[in-house]
Amino acid sequence: MCHCLACQRRTGSAFGMQARWLKNRVDVTGRYKEYVRTSDEGEERTFRFCPDCGATVFWTTEGWDSIAVAIGAFADPSFPQPTVSVYGSRRYSWLSLPEGIEEEHGH
Q: What residue ranges do the domains of the chain occupy? A: 5-104
Q: Look at residues 59, 50, 18, 13 and name the one whose alpha carbon lies nearest to residue 31.
A: 50
Question: How many Cβ atoms from other residues are within 10 Å of residue 60's Cβ?
Answer: 18
For the stretch 49-88, pLDDT in tens is 999 998 889 999 999 999 999 898 899 999 998 888 887 7
For the stretch 77-90, pLDDT in tens is 999 988 888 877 77
- In Å, how far are 56, 59, 72 from 44, measured between CA atoms? 16, 11, 23
Q: Rounded distance, CA 51 to CA 94, Å?
A: 34
